[in-house]
Amino acid sequence: MIQASNISHFYGSEQVLFDLTFEVQSGEFLFLSGESGSGKSTLLSILSTLLNPSSGELLIDAEAVGKIKNIDYFRQSKIGFVFQFHYLINYLSVYENIALAAMDDKKENINKILNELGILELSSRYPNEISGGQRQRVAVARALVNEPKIIFADEPTGSLDSKNSTIVYELLQKAQKNGTTVVVASHDMQIQNYATKIIRLKDGQIL
């Protein structure tokens, strides 16, 4: 699903990733671990097509990311995001936030996913009317609505308590068991229990 070959990245003159090569198979749950400054968020940004690497080649679902003509459509159809902070749009309801991300032919999935995630009754509420854990579940629902091939999550439980963290991990694991590739960058070692593959980074290199 993901083939990274000799990925390096610089911020100005500072190199933060060094010649990284690895593969992630379809349906795997990859845990990118490492201390702050290890390069895991930069790697996640590159893998999720938000950042172009300074050098190296990245293939997602057999497509070379640098050569994709319509990256917006590629992101919307193949990739789901879950961020550390829920990043829901505060003037849209839960339903509308998910609908904003949904492609036209996937809108019918919204209520089904909200139901599966146990938040159907929140669909008409606004982000500031629900708890932090519920917001992150909505963010997961938004990531799942287009039935993406890969979900990228950046510190998805960074702002949650352990109970809500477990709920989010279980949701991601469920998605993975349904065939979605999941890539999570996190400090939280609890995620090892769910991961099928772990890449540990230190100073921009794979240990």
Partner 1 sequence: MIAFKAIRKNPFKSLLIFSSITIAVMAIFLISSVSQGVIGMYSKMIKTDGDIIITQKGISDTFFSNVDISLMDKIDKLEHVSSSYAMIVGASPIGHIPIAGIYGTTANHFSHYKLSNGDYPKEGEVILGENLAKQFKTKSINIGNKNFEISGTYSSEIGFEEGGVVMNITDAGKLFNRSASFILVSSSSPNEIDGIVQKISQLNSEIEVKTTQNFVKEYNQFKIIENSSFVISTLAFAMGLMGIASVMSMIVNSRKEEFGIMRALGKSRFFIIKNLFFETLVMSLSAYLFALILSLGILAMLPHIEMLQGYVNGTLSLSSALYVLGSTLFMALLGSLFPAWIASKTDPILLINQGCA
Residues that bind partner 1 (CB under 8 A): 11, 16, 36-42, 44-45, 50-51, 72-77, 79, 81, 83-84, 87-92, 96, 100-101, 142, 154-155, 158, 185, 187
- In the complex, minimum distance from the CB of residue 42 to partner 1, in angstroms, rounded to a whole number: 5
- Residue closer to partner 1 by CB (options 1, 79) is 79
**What distance lies between CA 49 and its chain's CA centroid?**
11
- In the complex, minimum distance from the CB of residue 111 to partner 1, in angstroms, rounded to a whole number: 18
Q: What's the farthest any 2 CA atoms get from each other in the chain?
A: 51
Report d(CA 57, CA 138) in Å as an integer.
33
Report d(CA 86, CA 135) in Å as an integer.
6
- Residue closer to partner 1 by CB (options 45, 173) is 45
Report d(CA 65, CA 48) in Å as an integer.
10
H or E element, residue 190: none
- Residue closer to partner 1 by CB (options 100, 189) is 100
- In the complex, minimum distance from the CB of residue 74 to partner 1, in angstroms, rounded to a whole number: 8
Report d(CA 128, CA 37) in Å as an integer.
32
- Residue closer to partner 1 by CB (options 37, 118) is 37
- In the complex, minimum distance from the CB of residue 154 to partner 1, in angstroms, rounded to a whole number: 5
Report d(CA 188, CA 153) in Å as an integer.
12
- Give backbone dihedrals phi and psi of 161, rounded to 5 degrees, phi first: -80, 170
- In the complex, minimum distance from the CB of residue 79 to partner 1, in angstroms, rounded to a whole number: 7
- Residue closer to partner 1 by CB (options 11, 177) is 11
